[in-house]
């Protein structure tokens, strides 16, 4: 006689297994091996946690330091045409597909491909890419942390009011072409003057090393309890940058010369639409800003309820992200326009992108404002929040992968915390060479 198969957590268990388990319990119940039952997957504490987490993941440093530069370089307001076309025809469909796959599979980027094991390599590729991104992205956070600490000095160390910068601000000295902010960035932050190139990284800069360690400690604390902790942190890290952007836009609108900067930002050049590079920049910015194909969206959506309205979330997050990029340009170029007016030069002479904008041009502009210390603290605190929020969501992909290993290998929660400590320390050690890749002439300086 064959007994009917048993059901365990939705899975069919053969009679031979249940019979063997019962016989083992009858003979030696004290030595029965525990069944490896997968615990229920965690879920977000509320729908706003998921929305803010995705918005914080998408709205990052690129919205502040890359989009405004691409906009003015590619025809001003004309760039918005290919940008929103790429959003509606490529960004939104792929964004919806990734959220739907994660929500339906309720698994990370590795195990979600159980529907098609042949594609499991895609998940492994996502994990590798996210690990590499974590290495260099936290270096940027370390730089921001360093600038934030130096912003509490009065006068600011990269302003002309500092006595050490007198030789750089002397207009009669034509032999020195560097500005105080450039000198601070190149010498005190990067120390590139003591290096001959990539083959000569120079000595360890202990101030930056400590900032990098502090950045990894903050990421570790945010991720210590998984989405239970990161889901609460997002209420601050995702909303605070919007408050700062609004304040900077209002302050920039009151400055002399701000309209010149805004006009430079939005003046349309219709001929640029015929240039294929404009469309290429629009597509790359959409992919870069929305974080499509990296696995972060898939991982975050896996913690949703099965019946969550994923179409609504896609519309809110994608439109909110692109709108943030557009309005960030007003905060950037209004103050850069004021700096150009103070110096008596065209706006294009002070406009920059990437680290050059965030750590050279904009700090120099903030140093010219009344109450420069307050504005510098506000700006670098915003950059710090943007970086931490994005990196926590990228790191969440690793958390999903380790959650799969934890179930498979029956690893305890305490061991999981030690795993994160080890992973953060390892990436902290490896992040050092990433400094070279983010120099102004480095491979990813424009991103």
- Asked if residue 268 has pLDDT above 70, the reply is yes
Is 197 annotated to bind a ligand? Reply is no
How many structural domains compose the chain?
A: 1
- Whole-angstrom CA distances from 305 to 50, 101, 164, 202, 401 are 11, 13, 58, 51, 19
Kindly state whether residue 447 falls inside one of the protein's structural domains. Answer: no
Note whether 446 and 66 are within 8 A (CB).
Answer: yes
Kindly state whether residue 4 falls inside one of the protein's structural domains. Answer: no
Domain span including residue 146: 44-437
pLDDT band at 429 (very low <50, low <70, confident <90, very high): very low
Kindly state whether residue 338 falls inside one of the protein's structural domains. Answer: yes
Distance between CA atoms of 221 and 53, rounded to whole angstroms? 16
Note whether 184 and 157 are within 8 A (CB).
Answer: yes
**Mean pLDDT score of the chain:** 77
Kindly state whether residue 11 falls inside one of the protein's structural domains. Answer: no
Helix residue ranges per DSSP H, 28-154: 47-58, 61-65, 67-73, 80-86, 92-105, 120-150
Kindly state whether residue 442 falls inside one of the protein's structural domains. Answer: no
Residue with tokens 């239970």: 228
Which H or E element spans position 16? helix 15-27
pLDDT band at 414 (very low <50, low <70, confident <90, very high): very low
Kindly state whether residue 25 falls inside one of the protein's structural domains. Answer: no
Least trusted range by pLDDT, from 23-27, 339-343, 348-352? 23-27
Is 275 annotated to bind a ligand? Reply is no
Rg (CA), the chain: 25
What number is the average pLDDT over the span 62-85?
87
pLDDT band at 200 (very low <50, low <70, confident <90, very high): confident
pTM: 0.77
Is 59 annotated to bind a ligand? Reply is yes
pLDDT band at 10 (very low <50, low <70, confident <90, very high): very low
If one counts every other C-beta atom within 10 angstroms of the C-beta of residue 45, the result is 13
- Asked if residue 172 has pLDDT above 50, the reply is yes
pLDDT tens for each residue of 124-135: 888 888 888 888
pLDDT tens for each residue of 352-391: 767 778 888 888 888 888 888 999 999 999 999 998 888 8
Is 389 annotated to bind a ligand? Reply is yes
Kindly state whether residue 19 falls inside one of the protein's structural domains. Answer: no
106: phi then psi, degrees, rounded to nearest 5 = 50, 45
Kindly state whether residue 28 falls inside one of the protein's structural domains. Answer: no
Least trusted range by pLDDT, from 173-182, 214-223, 396-405? 396-405
Q: How far is CA 291 from the centre of its chain?
A: 9
Q: How far is CA 208 from the centre of its chain?
A: 19
Distance between CA atoms of 290 and 12, rounded to whole angstroms? 40
Q: How far is CA 83 from the centre of its chain?
A: 20
- Asked if residue 314 has pLDDT above 90, the reply is yes
What number is the average pLDDT over the span 69-75?
83
Is 63 annotated to bind a ligand? Reply is yes
What number is the average pLDDT over the span 200-216?
84
pLDDT band at 31 (very low <50, low <70, confident <90, very high): low
- Asked if residue 411 has pLDDT above 60, the reply is no
Is 289 annotated to bind a ligand? Reply is yes
């Amino acid at each position: 006689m064959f007994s009917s198969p048993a059901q365990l957590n939705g899975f069919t268990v053969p009679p031979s297994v249940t019979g063997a388990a019962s016989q083992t319990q009858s003979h030696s119940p004290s030595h029965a091996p525990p069944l490896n039952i997968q615990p229920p997957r965690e879920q977000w504490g509320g729908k706003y946690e998921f929305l803010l987490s995705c918005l914080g993941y998408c709205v990052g440093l690129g919205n502040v330091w890359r989009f405004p530069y691409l906009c003015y370089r590619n025809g001003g307001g004309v760039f918005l045409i290919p940008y929103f076309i790429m959003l509606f025809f490529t960004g939104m469909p792929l964004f919806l597909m990734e959220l739907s796959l994660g929500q339906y599979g309720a698994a990370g980027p590795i195990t979600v491909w159980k529907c098609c094991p042949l594609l499991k390599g895609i998940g492994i590729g996502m994990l590798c890419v996210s690990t590499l991104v974590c290495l260099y992205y936290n270096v940027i956070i370390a730089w921001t942390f360093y600038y934030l600490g130096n912003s509490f000095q009065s006068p600011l160390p990269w302003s002309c009011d500092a006595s050490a910068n007198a030789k750089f601000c002397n207009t009669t000295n034509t032999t020195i072409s560097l500005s105080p902010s450039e000198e601070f960035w190149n010498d005190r932050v990067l120390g590139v003057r003591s290096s001959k190139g990539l083959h000569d990284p120079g000595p360890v800069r202990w101030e930056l090393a400590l900032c990098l360690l502090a950045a990894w400690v903050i990421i570790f604390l945010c991720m210590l309890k998984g989405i239970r902790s990161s889901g609460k942190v997002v209420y601050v890290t995702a909303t605070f940058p919007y408050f700062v952007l609004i304040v900077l836009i209002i302050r920039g609108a009151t400055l002399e010369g701000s309209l010149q900067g805004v006009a430079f930002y939005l003046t349309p050049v219709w001929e640029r639409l015929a240039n294929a590079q404009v469309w290429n920049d629009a597509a790359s910015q959409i992919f870069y800003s929305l974080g499509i194909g990296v696995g972060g969206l898939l991982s975050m959506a896996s913690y949703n309820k099965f019946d969550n309205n994923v179409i609504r979330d896609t519309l809110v997050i994608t439109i909110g992200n692109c709108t943030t990029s557009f309005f960030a340009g007003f905060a950037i170029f209004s103050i850069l326009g004021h700096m150009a007016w103070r110096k008596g030069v065209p706006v294009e002479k002070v406009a920059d992108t990437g680290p050059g904008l965030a750590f050279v041009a904009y700090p120099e502009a903030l140093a010219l404002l009344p109450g420069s210390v307050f504005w510098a603290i506000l700006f670098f605190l915003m950059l710090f929040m943007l970086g931490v929020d994005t990196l926590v969501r990228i790191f969440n992909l690793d958390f999903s992968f380790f959650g799969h290993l934890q179930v498979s290998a029956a690893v305890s929660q305490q061991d999981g915390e030690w795993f994160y400590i080890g992973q953060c320390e390892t990436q902290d050690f490896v992040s050092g060479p990433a400094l070279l890749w983010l120099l102004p002439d480095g491979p990813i300086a424009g991103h």
